[in-house]
Structures are given as structure tokens and as C-alpha cells.
Amino acid sequence: MTVRQRARDLGIPFDGETGPLNAITDVAGVEVGFTTLIDGDGALQIGKGPVRTGVTIIHPRGKDRAFDGVWAGRFSLNGNGEMTGVHWIDEAGAFSGPIAITNTHSVGLAHHGILRWMIAHPRFNAEAQLWMLPVSAETCDEYLNDINGQHVTEAHVLAACDSARPGPVAEGNVGGGTGMVCYEFKGGTGTASRRFTLGDETFTIGVLVQANFGKRHDLSVRGVPVGRHLTDNAVWGTAQNPDVQGSIIGIAITDAPLSAIQLQRVARRMGLGVGRTGSPSEDGSGDIFLAMSTHNDVCEKAGTSEAMLRYTVNAHINPLFLATVEATEEAIINALAAAETMTGQNGHTVHAINHDDLMAVMKQYGR
């Protein structure tokens, strides 16, 4: 797989200061891993392929600290999708373990694979970890992938968990994003980060998206109606696919001190980042977001009845909200910029956005 230029490298004028990698791994401790499954061509045979799918794993505190929880909050902009574990996150404001993102019909397998990985972890203690509620999320890759074949296995999840690393993050046709479509271009995995200041301290937020949503005519890049100009090779609106709308999963991690309620507010702002790219979050789209903070330890099993929690005063939180919107917007455009043209089941082809054509439209609007 060739490595395509990221959106910022093309000259798209994003706002805000990025971290050194412009990725979710700019937050210290975060590790990301992938298993990418590409196999077969031609006519769909359920259970045989063609296969265009995978799984993405995010360790908020790294593999070694899998049982050290993070404070969290989530938001469903439109709920036609799945993210497991969110009821406990709503209740407790925290969770532990890796996060998986995969295709719709493999979300249970990914959940099961996380459990297998955690049970095999050197720090697993059957008495301390009587039960676990992993986070596993999905978007639908049925246009390119043999989704009903359920080709993601526990072994693939274990491999993604084990292979996760800090550092640069692959984008486009990788992991859970392998078979995804975004604004009727090839979509998939994208990431970005922002640095921001609260009081006299500087923090980082990183966002990773699995982008599989949107109709071509809605696509906007930094306010430019790109989708109204780049109309060739659109996927939907055909007799076979009259009104497909797709989904997006967004994961945000920050090192800023926040309460669980504040993290719910951060998760909501990810929806504004999606909106900047043009989507109205249609009825058939599962637009679900999870935000976490690694600043405070989760001390539910500390053996004491009290614990100290540092958080930001609400009146000072706006720079974080803006950073969240900006990072989400750029992560989506990075997914589009990085993805490559892919042909999947029954010869279905989704074309990558052409960088030269994209920048020609941007220039036309003075961007």
C-alpha cells in the first residue's frame, strides 16, 4: 500500500496547532494497532469473500496499563450504530481496557477478542477483574466487504491489540476502516491532534475516526463545497444503492484534567467537527463519539472511600472545545486524503479523492 499525502501536506489550510505527529498518539501513552484483511476478488460468496475489512485497536494508556481506567463520556449524534460498554460509561463515567472499531457484523467478535486479550494479560487478576465491559464500535462496510461472512476473528483482534504502538498512525484503508466509504469517496481511518491552553498549561487532544458516512454533494472542505464540483464516480443514488448514508465512530483522548460530565461535552463537540465537513447526520447514520481523559487516575479500587479529582473550571474550557472540533474535522479529511481506490465484492469500486482535483477546487475558492 502506498502512503498518500495527508490533507495538511496538500496545502489545505486548517486552523490550530497540531502535536508533532498530528495524531491521536500525540497524547502520551496512547497506542494504536491494526489488523487489515484484504482477500479475494469477484462475485460475493458469503463466508468466502471478497474480504475488505479489519479491526482497529486503541489503548488509551498503552498495553501495559490496560486495567488502569480512564474517565470518559460519550455522545450519540445519531444512533443507527453500536458502541458497547456505553451504559456503564454513562453510569460510572469511566472504563478500562482497549477500544475496538470494526465492521457492523463483527462488533461482537471484536468485543469477545478484547476479553480474550485482557484475560491473557500479565496483569489480569480473576478476583480483581470479576467482570469487564469492553468498548467495541462499528461502521458498515457491506458495499465492499463480505460483511455477512464475519471474517474478523478473535485472533485478528488479539493481533491488533498486541501490535499497537505509539508513534505515527496509518490512515485510509487500514484496520476497521479498510472497507469504508466517506462522502462517496474511499474513506476509512483518519486521525489528527491539537494543542490548546487551559489557564497557564498546555495540553493535547487527539482524535481518531472511522469515517464511513456522507453523500457526495454535502462534502465541504474548509467551507468549500467540494462535493458539488467533484461529482464523478459517485457511489450512491443508483438503483442498487438509492439512499445509503453510512456512519462515523469518533474517539477522542486528551491529557487535560476533566470530569466525566465535561467529557460528555467534549464528545458532543466531535459532532460539530463532522458538521464542518458537510454532513447533516442523516437518519441512517450511526454517528457515535467517545471522549476520554488520561489526566486523573480512576481509583475505584483504591481501598479508600475518597479520592481527589482535578478538573478544569467550565468557564475556561472553551479552548478544548475548539480543539476538539478542529481535530475531528481534520481527521475526517485525512481519512479521505489517505485512502486509495478499492474494488471489493461483486466488482464494486469506490474511488479515492483525487488530490489534484481537490486542490484545484480549493484554489478556485481562494483556499
Tens of pLDDT, residues 24-71: 999 999 999 999 999 999 999 999 999 999 999 999 999 999 999 999
Among 146, 218, 255, 287, which one carries the catalytic annotation?
287
pLDDT at 364 over 60: yes
Selecting from 3.40.50.300, 3.40.605.10, 3.40.630.40, 3.60.70.12, what CATH number does the domain 7-364 have? 3.60.70.12
The stretches of 67-220 forming alpha helices (DSSP H) are 86-92, 107-119, 154-163
287 labelled catalytic: yes
pLDDT bin (cut points 50, 70, 90) of residue 179 is: very high
pLDDT bin (cut points 50, 70, 90) of residue 361 is: very high
90 labelled catalytic: no
In this structure, how many other beta carbons lie within 10 angstroms of the beta carbon of residue 339?
29
Contacts 24+ apart (CB under 8 A), 307-311: 309/259, 310/257, 311/257, 311/258, 311/259, 311/262
Question: Residue 267 — left, alpha, or beta (φ > 0 → left; ψ -120 to 50 → alpha)?
Answer: alpha
285 labelled catalytic: yes
pLDDT at 116 over 80: yes
- Mean pLDDT of all residues in the chain? 95
Question: Closest Cα partner for 107 from 352, 288, 340?
Answer: 288
Are 24 and 253 in contact by the 8 Å Cβ rule? The answer is yes
**Residue extents of the structural domains in the chain:** 7-364
Query: In percent, how much of the chain has pLDDT > 70?
Result: 96
Among 247, 279, 281, 293, which one carries the catalytic annotation?
247
pLDDT at 301: 61
DSSP code at position 352: P
Are 205 and 254 in contact by the 8 Å Cβ rule? The answer is yes
Listed in sequence order, the residues at least 6 apart from 22 whose beta carbon sits closer than 8 Å to its beta carbon are 6, 8, 191, 192, 193, 330
Among 106, 281, 285, 293, which one carries the catalytic annotation?
285
Extract the C-alpha cell encoding 90: 454513562
